[in-house]
């Protein structure tokens, strides 16, 4: 269980997460990275945050090469037509997958100028301001809404949302990590 928070401000897109890893009710570590950066062949950065299976996160981080985005594709077209199908292929090549309907971990993606959530059924949702996933998401959403009009800087706002999830969800804990990329075309 986890919490991953994606947040857009005027100049950057941020993804933050806790670092606790649990197996049932057993806390196995409090130092597990749930967010990471990857670069496309063209050098564009993407931040990916994962909840759920550590195996799927490891496969995406270690074995998945971000495919090139064809000229003229929107970010949505790229993610739906190329990114998600290739990611599923990499999972299958690494021994994951079942016949029939495919499910993956929920993921938050910060890419180009957009913030995305890939749901467990591979449905893709774009967010204009923020998204929270994982068992602590309700607490993080509440904190972000309560801080909506505050003057605190973005990274502190994300940190407070994750701290709220840590305080109220026993499956969220450990260190807080926040990564960002500039909003670009």
Supply the pLDDT for residue 156.
96
- Tell me the CB-side half-sphere exposure of residue 172, using CA atoms within 13 A: 28
Q: Which residue has better confidence, 133 or 29?
A: 133
- Tell me the CB-side half-sphere exposure of residue 134, using CA atoms within 13 A: 35
Supply the pLDDT for residue 32.
86
Among 96-105, 156-165, 173-182, whose mean pLDDT is lowest?
Answer: 96-105
> What CA–CA distances, in Å, run from 37 to 45, 68, 75, 132, 153?
7, 16, 17, 18, 22
Supply the pLDDT for residue 50.
92
Please state the three-class secondary structure of 141-171 as a single string: HHHHHHCCCCCCCHHHHHHHHHHHHHHHCCC
Task: Report the C-alpha gap between 59 and 148 in whole angstroms.
Answer: 35
Which residue ranges form the domains of the chain, and what is each CATH number? 4-182 (3.60.20.10)
Helices (H), the chain: 54-63, 75-78, 84-93, 137-146, 154-168
Report percent pLDDT > 70 for the chain.
95
Could you read off the pLDDT of 28-59 as tens digits, one per residue? 887 789 999 998 777 788 999 999 878 888 88
Supply the pLDDT for residue 121.
85
Supply the pLDDT for residue 185.
59
pTM: 0.92
Task: Report the C-alpha gap between 99 and 56 in whole angstroms.
Answer: 17
Q: Output the CA angle 29-1-95, nearest 5 degrees.
A: 85
Cβ 3 vs Cβ 141: under 8 Å:
no
Cβ 64 vs Cβ 90: under 8 Å:
yes
**Burial group, residue 38, by CB count within 10 angstroms (0-12, 13-18, 19+):** middle
Could you read off the pLDDT of 75-130 as tens digits, one per residue? 999 999 999 999 888 888 888 765 555 567 889 999 989 999 999 888 999 999 99
């Amino acid at each position: 269980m986890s919490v991953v928070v994606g947040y857009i401000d005027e100049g950057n897109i941020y993804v933050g997460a806790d670092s606790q890893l649990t197996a049932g009710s057993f806390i196995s570590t409090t130092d597990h990275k749930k967010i990471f950066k990857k670069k496309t062949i063209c050098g564009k950065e993407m931040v990916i945050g994962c909840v759920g299976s550590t195996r799927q996160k490891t496969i995406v981080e270690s074995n998945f090469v971000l495919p090139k985005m064809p000229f003229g594709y929107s970010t949505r077209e790229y993610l739906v037509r190329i990114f998600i199908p290739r990611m599923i292929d990499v999972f299958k090549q690494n021994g994951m997958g079942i016949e029939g309907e495919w499910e993956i971990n929920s993921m938050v993606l910060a890419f180009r100028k957009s913030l995305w959530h890939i749901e467990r059924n591979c449905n893709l949702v774009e967010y204009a301001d923020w998204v929270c996933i994982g068992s602590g998401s309700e607490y993080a959403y509440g904190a972000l809404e309560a801080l909506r009009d505050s003057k605190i800087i973005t990274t502190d706002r994300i940190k407070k949302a994750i701290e709220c999830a840590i305080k109220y969800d026993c499956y969220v804990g450990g260190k807080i990590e926040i990564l960002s990329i500039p909003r670009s075309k």
